[in-house]
Structure 1
Amino acid sequence: MALSTPLCDALEIEYPIVQAPIGSVTRPELAAAVSNSGGLGTLAVTWRPPDRAAEFVERTRERTDRPFAVNVVLDPEAKEVATEDHLDAVLGAGVPAVSFSFGDATPYIERVHDGGASVLVTVGSAEEAETAAAAGADVIVAQGWEAGGHVQSEVATLPLVPRVADAVDVPVVAAGGIADGRGVAAVLAAGADGAWLGTRFVATEEAAVENHYRERIVDAEETETLYSELFDIGWKGMPHRVLHNSTTEAWERAGRPTPGDRPGEGETIAEYPGGHPIVRYGDDLPMEGVEGDLDALALYAGQSSGLTDEVQPAAEVVEELVAETEARIDQLSAVVQ
């Protein structure tokens, strides 16, 4: 059998596997590795200046001749760069696809299409999916609340995906809680046309993170995440899911106080190369080169961390996902027969 769905046709990819835009974790090496393996690699550009975003697209193009995407967050609380400036940069550099999240993508979809790229829009409800599809989105990403990082839904993946699939006539990608072929097969059965994985790709050799972060994901159980708005310095008001650490535990012991009264709030706990400080409760993660109390930073991860058991090359992850999904579908077919 060959694992191919309408998503593959829409994005011109071999397999319905999408690497999520996992913030500063992404870089050209990771996106290209996923795309070269038949999936869709993605770069996060929201927190990068336009010239740097264009450079990332160009560097990815040097590493792959297959489709890949960039992600742009639309929530103004998260942004320092106008969306139009980011789009001019990445479309000018020739990116094949743009994904939007955390906001209404309607004003920007025509611009992306005019630039020759496909549009993916992340949603957290069937109503949001209908709006995005009516505006011209080529692909809808249905993100369930099991997801790691910032989360834009309060609905779990399996109830959300069928609702979204019933609401739109374009390919749907399921996100949240997926880390292996069993999860991919499950969301395909629920009506999705592909799977979107973030946490699993943090635990890859190409991810731009310190090893401590990878190891925490690999060692974590499915019960070791916290859904809250705790790490809000830099992006206020957006719920997110992280691994429990010293910061979350101190906050919970203090009775979950509100901002301004949290233990150690505002103290410097780490720094970027060059000395730029990172404060407690900041939305910064342990990027490559960050030094300090790495375990106290925002360790974004989904409930799928309990299914992530080793650090691997990204290409190997894609290959295993495809093989496991095909095997699981074969097993289910045998049950029906």
Structure 2
Amino acid sequence: MVAAVCDAGGYGVLPLWHKPIEAFEADLARTQSLSDRNFAVNINVANPYKDQLQICIDHKVHAVSLFWGIEREAIDMAKSAGLNVLYSVGNAAEAQAAEQAGADVIVAQGWEAGGHVWGQVSTMALIPAVVDTVNIPVIAAGGIADGRAMAAALMLGASGVWVGTRFLASYEATIHDTYRQRILDAPEDQTEWYYELYDVSWPDAPHRALKNATSQGWHRTGAPKPGQRPNEGQIIGHRPNGDPVERYQSYTPITGTTGDVDAMSLWSGQGVAQVRQVMSAAEIVDEIYRDAETALNNGRSIL
């Protein structure tokens, strides 16, 4: 999917940080073989990251996308090797710190974002606050799923947008069919922000996901803390390689996952209501661009 996005004129970001180092390097090399366009590799600096970053350096990737806290040493390591640095932040103070540490681009992630969410400020309020604070390009993230949202972000001063949930409904996305259908069917109020619901394997990491039987059962019992939740430790499915998936586990159900997929962590942003059709990644890039252009031109005509 990253290669398809790049070839369509977008800028793909490859999420590899959670993989063993051998798989990290193999998937990076494969992506480079599929497209000669620039892309970034996503790295979580709260985990051991230096080996991953060194592989990015060795493979001469265009950029790394760093997230989950400001880590000056990671920026220094990447910049000294000639890599560009995108840095995800949740507020203006972090954006300023990342810029001062040497970041080239700020990714300002609003609270509407799906998956793991660092900040607690909405995209609409966050983007202008960050744009007014830094002197480097700002990419808007969180709840952006169509061209109208892209146009809004550009009007707020962003230089571009980061789109996640919309691409879950691409042909190239390797998520489970049950997960994809839930995305296609979900109205705008069917996501919820949790501080620690899906915390098995990644504790203390706030996140946004679709409501499901797991979250509903948790709410019915009073939203208890970890250690007191209903059916903790229950195996609800298996990964394609046979490894078990527990209830409350931080796990993206991919093709080949078995079991009660609907009860797993179905990451989604609040822009999910704009996701209603499965398309190719290239078609999504083109549609968002064209619709953003139309929205901006319509705005100018009104003025």
Normalised to the residue count of structure 1, the TM-score between the two structures is: 0.88
- Which residue does the alignment assign to 1:102? 68
* Corresponding residue to 1:200 among 166, 172, 181: 166
C-alpha contact (below 8 Å) 1:105/1:121 kept by paired residues:
no
**Percent sequence identity over aligned pairs:** 44
Query: Residue deviations 1:145-174, cap 9 Å, x none?
Result: 000000011100010000100110000000
Residues 53 and 90 in structure 1, CA contact (< 8 A), matched pair in contact too: no
Matched residue, 1:321:
288
- 2:43·2:66 contact (CA, 8 Å) conserved in 1? yes
SS of match in other structure, 1:163: helix
Residue number in structure 2 paired with 1:233: 200
Could you say what secondary structure the match of 1:298 adopts?
A: coil
Give ranges in structure 1 of 5+ residues lacking alignment.
1-29
Amino acid at match of 1:168: V
Residue 26 of structure 2: SS of its match in structure 1? helix
Matched AA of 2:10: G
CA contact (8 A) 1:204 1:214 kept: no
> Equivalent residues in 2 for 1:57-72 (5 A)?
57-72=28-43
Deviations 1:194-249 (A, max 9, x none): 00011111111111211111111110001001111200011111110000011011
Cα offset, 1:276, TM superposition: 0.6
Q: Does 1:164 align with 2:135?
A: no
Instruction: Please show how residues 123-142 of structure 1 align to structure 2 within 5 Å.
Output: 123-142=89-108
Distance (Å, rounded) in 2 between the aligned partners of 1:83 and 1:94:
16
Superposition RMSD in Å: 0.9
Aligned to 1:10: none
Equivalent residue for 1:174, pick from 140, 146, 152: 140
Hey, what's the Cα distance between the residues in 2 that align with 1:112 and 1:240? 27
Residue type matched to 1:260 in 2? G
Is 2:251 the counterpart of 1:251?
no
Contact between 2:45 and 2:74, CA under 8 Å: does it hold in 1? Answer: no
Residue ranges of structure 2 left out of the alignment (5+ in a row): none
1:303 is displaced (CA, Å) by: 0.5
The residue number in structure 2 matching 1:44 is 15
Partners of 2:294 and 2:80 lie apart in 1 by 40
2-structure distance, mates of 1:83, 1:215: 34
Structure 1 residue 96, shift from structure 2 partner: 1.0
- The aligned length equals 302
Equivalent position SS for 1:257:
coil
C-alpha distance in 2 between matches for 1:192 and 1:208:
29
Matched residue type, 2:255: E
Determine the C-alpha separation between the residues in 1 that align with 2:271 and 2:126: 17
* Corresponding letter in the other structure for 1:230: L
